[in-house]
Structure 1
């Protein structure tokens, strides 16, 4: 049975160009590739945000996800963000999106954050992983997106008196 490793991109920088291409192709409508190059280039400092994580199996890059300071310019009050979740077509449908989310959730909890945020253009995907829909937001310049929060507090979901 093959084991997928999830690690910071700074531990395997040879995958940076592929990550940049994935993000640009999947999220870059109307945005130059250099924008994503800058994000990835500045997300490789141990212990500092933003961070990019990758999933690798047998030296093959399968997916990526980020932990960012801000992923929605109109909601800079929310911090930090799970961002740029991408799974390669060949690796989809095998639970990797959930594994990448859980990796960032555990990392953020260990770092002392109380909650995570994300935005998505679609509904009913992130709820399956425990994210709470908190309303809509506005992605520049005029795209309505759905906002989610994930509580990292130890008591989240626990019964209260």
Structure 2
């Protein structure tokens, strides 16, 4: 793993330690400007370390350039009606379907409210069906209708 330099900056009576925007395993910048750590997996870290850089920033191209490359990739793949921000929703959905850990997802996304996090965590129909199958594996019906059951009979069996 690479070592990241720490830079001491003297700014008058106090000493400020400036750390890079990211270090192994974490990205520290946030859109809101409030400090928070975003954990990154080793596979992503390894890919990022292979990219050439002359800055401490994680992504060394301007945002507009990144968006343009993304748009070209979408056009090349014939994908329509998809925005860069949709990747955040996609990540949140896969994370919640795999881990079921809403508080962890809330922290990763930097949301102060679980309600906001729930707006990002979309469940697929296949996932919902699979969850229902888990229930069916342990389901024991409390009543099974006979072949000659009629609605009155059904009602009577619950009253007894």
| TM-score normalised according to structure 2 size | 0.27
Greater RCO (CA < 8 Å, at least 6 residues apart):
1
Q: Which has the higher strand share?
A: 1
Looking at CA atoms only, which structure, 1 or 2, has the larger radius of gyration? 2
| TM-score normalised according to structure 1 size | 0.27
Q: Which has the higher helix share?
A: 2
